Amino acid sequence: MDPLVLLDQAVAQGKVPRAIATKVRKRMDVVQAAVRRTESASGLRYPPYYIEPSLPCSRTGAEYGQMGALFARVIPTTVTGSVVILVQFSAALVAFGTRGTIEAVAAHEFTHYVDLVRKMSTKDIASDEVVTTLYEASFRDAEHTVAPKLIFSEKALVSLVSRKFKDDLVDAALVKKVGDLWVAKNLPIHWVGPEENTLRVPMAVVAASRFDPAVLAKVAEIQKAHR
């Protein structure tokens, strides 16, 4: 998939200035390098990812600083009767985040991805989730990750993620830049309600889904080590 297709559409519709899109496009090499570093440190393939042209913001709490901006998210969706897990990076993150922050975010979202594969492949539903004919899995931030040290062999990357994420992303400079150069300029914002933080998929779809065998092997390895 072309990770920039939604951004290009937003430019064509006049929602995002061409200058911002150009900046994001020029910095895609930083995102690609962050993905490669995550893959190298984990020995696993990164899930498909894309650039979200609007800035997702939480109505229920400041999960990523005082703005409540969600700079990146793991987005489970369904395609032709199967679950597909995507990583969403906001254009604001790519445009204004430092290389270190983008690398930390890419690795952190990967821990969400591994945890979601674990939950779906083992049908492990947390106590705060409802067991019905639907598989309901919240993917709130700190509660739904796998510890970086269990996934990444690179100690420097583990340290970077641990330093940048104290439950939430810690980057005051990024929050200020996005506030001044995105929010204050009335660039697009997408308000995320609590219902968007829950995946509701029929159990039959979950059962029919096929996940990356290497990720499943890593999940099994982690679970075996922690029995």
- The residue that leads in pLDDT, 208 or 110, is 110
Alpha-carbon distance of 68 to 178, in angstroms, equals 11
pLDDT average, residue stretch 10-23:
97
Model pLDDT, residue 120:
84
3 near 35, Cβ under 8 Å? Answer: no
69 near 57, Cβ under 8 Å? Answer: yes
- The residue that leads in pLDDT, 181 or 167, is 181
Cβ count near 119 (within 10 Å): 22
pLDDT value at 142 more than 60? no
Residues 6+ apart with CB under 8 A from 211: 117, 120, 121
Q: Given pLDDT bands bounded at 50, 70 and 90, which one contains residue 227? A: low
In degrees and rounded to multiples of 5, residue 144 shows phi and psi of -130, 55
- The residue that leads in pLDDT, 62 or 200, is 200
Q: Which of 25-29, 125-129, 191-195 has the lowest mean pLDDT?
A: 125-129
- Domain spans, the chain: 5-222
Cα 78 from chain centre: 17
HSE-CB of 40 using CA atoms within 13 angstroms: 11
* Tokens linked to 122: 């083992």
pLDDT value at 49 more than 60? yes
Q: Write out the DSSP string of 163-220.
A: HHEESEE--HHHHHHHIIIIITTT--EEEEPGGGGEEEEEHHHHHH----HHHHHHHH
Model pLDDT, residue 167:
67
Please state, rounded to an integer, the average pLDDT across all residues of the chain.
84
Q: Which of 125-129, 167-171, 217-221 has the lowest mean pLDDT?
A: 125-129
When mean pLDDT is compared over 73-82, 94-103, 121-130, 168-177, the highest value belongs to 94-103
Model pLDDT, residue 141:
46
For the entire predicted model, the pTM comes to 0.86
Q: Answer positive or negative: Cα dihedral of 220, 148, 75, 198.
A: positive
HSE-CB of 122 using CA atoms within 13 angstroms: 17
Helices (H) and strands (E) in the chain, counts: 9, 9
Residues 6+ apart with CB under 8 A from 95: 20, 23, 24, 27, 181, 182
